[in-house]
Amino acid sequence: MEGDPTLRLRVFDLNCWAIRYLSKRRQERVRLIGNVLRREGFDLVLLQEVWSEQDYSDLKVKLGGCYPFSHYFRSGVIGSGLCVFSRFPILDTLLYQYSLNGYPYMLQHGDWFCGKSVGLVIIKISGIIFNVYVTHLHAEYCREKDAYLPHRLVQAWELAQFIRHTSKAADVVLLGGDLNMHPEDVGIRLLRGWTGLRDAFAEAARFEGCEDGCTLVPNNCFTVKTELLPFPLGIRIDYILYKAVSSFTVKCEELKTTTGTAPGMDIPFSDHEAVMATLHIQRQGRAAGAPLGAAEPTLADVVTEARTEVGVGLRAAQQQRYSAGRMAVLALLLLLLQALAALGVLAGLAAGQPFPKLSFSLLAFLAIGVLLLATGLHLFHTMEVKMLQGTEEQMRMVLRALQERPSDG
């Protein structure tokens, strides 16, 4: 390391849990976050769940001095919640919204309304091009029966594809965010395997913080303790990942997490712990990168595993599409039947009044409601099926390429 000039980069990542009206002590915590960012003077700050643009604007004003460059990514009904603050000029940005992101009717899980995305900012520091990605994947509400696993896998796949396709001119790739996956989960193995990204926690020369690098810990007064019962130490779902794409090396000198409360405070910054990495970037003669050749059999296994899970999701989505379609047809039939009966009465075929007007009208309205709802659901699940099929096919293509590669030389 010595001899050559190295660049030292301090990166801060946090899921801020700043949901207007819902998150506890939000404004106070956003102020605290602003304070620590100003005091510590990181080079790069990657935030998630900054749902309120007002919070972003407040942070922007507060941090203007030490982080003159920033970007807020807009998407979905509520927003993407993603933003970046930087000491160095942001040259360009791009947002990619994941094609699947839960269900609009799962109001209690709200993910669909957030337009979950990955944001890219391009930054040049000392002539080195950094592609910095910030993202937040679909939450896991029940680990035993995780209905959102296929959606999260599609997101992990799209994230990996987006990074691969957009980072070809970058010297260094950084990804920070709440991936909502444990380190051994198939989605994170897929992301790491397919992009070659390394886990700052695993690579760090020094670590300080929650045991095992956990970022959702029982020690934090805002976490839901029952959800963490199976994990007495907590779970690690927030990451800083990196790789050098061309003739550079990146090393993680130090990784830190907060430990339940913000340093010197009585409350935490968020229900998540912050992840802080100190990276060393050095130019070197030969191109660096993970020895992909050796890792390929493993990668094929991971892609196969992910593809199986996407297939499970696909069959579930097809089943739901079918059920919604059948419901719509039944509602339509009921409406037609009612229309026929009403016509019969009008034509004088039936004597007197065979059914009470009120129940008749209520039934018709109910049928119309069910018809509209079921049609909407059918359309939604049709889209879901298409995206799952598309991902499955892409994975199949990649598997074929991985298997053929040795013969291609």
Q: Based on CB atoms, which residue is closest to its own copies, 90 or 233?
A: 90
Nearer to its own copies, 32 or 197 (CB): 197
Q: Give the range of 84-92, 207-215, 227-235, 250-258 binding its own copies by CB under 8 A.
A: 84-92
Q: Is 283 in the site for its own copies (CB under 8 A)?
A: no
Listed residue (113, 199, 192) closest to 156, CA to CA: 192
Please report how many Cα atoms fall inside a 13 Å half-sphere around the Cα of residue 235, on the Cβ side.
20
User: Considering 71, 136, 272, 381, which one is annotated as catalytic?
Assistant: 272
List Cβ<8 Å contacts ≥24 apart for 36-42: 36/262, 36/263, 36/269, 37/12, 37/63, 37/66, 37/67, 37/85, 38/62, 38/63, 38/65, 38/66, 40/10, 40/12, 41/10, 41/66, 41/87, 42/10, 42/11, 42/12, 42/87, 42/276
76 binds its own copies (CB under 8 A): yes
Q: Is 165 a catalytic residue?
A: no
Do 74 and 47 meet the contact criterion of CB atoms below 8 Å apart? Answer: no
| Residue ranges in 112-151 that form contacts with its own copies under rule CB under 8 A | 113, 115, 120
Binding of residue 165 to its own copies (CB under 8 A) = yes
- Interaction between residue 375 and its own copies (CB under 8 A): no
* Binding residues with its own copies: total (CB under 8 A): 42
Rounded CA separation 16/274 (Å)? 9
Answer yes or no whether residue 390 interacts with its own copies by CB under 8 A: yes
The stretch among 58-66, 205-213, 306-314, 391-399 that binds its own copies (CB under 8 A) is 391-399
> Among 4, 28, 41, 77, which residue sits at the site for its own copies (rule: CB under 8 A)?
77
Minimum distance between the CB of residue 163 and its own copies, rounded to whole angstroms?
A: 11
Rounded to whole angstroms, the Cα distance separating 378 from 269 reads 41
* Catalytic (active-site) positions: 272
Task: List interacting residues with its own copies (CB under 8 A).
Answer: 73-77, 79, 90-97, 99, 113, 115, 120, 161-162, 164-166, 168-169, 357-358, 361-362, 365, 369, 379, 382-383, 386-387, 389-390, 393-394, 397, 401
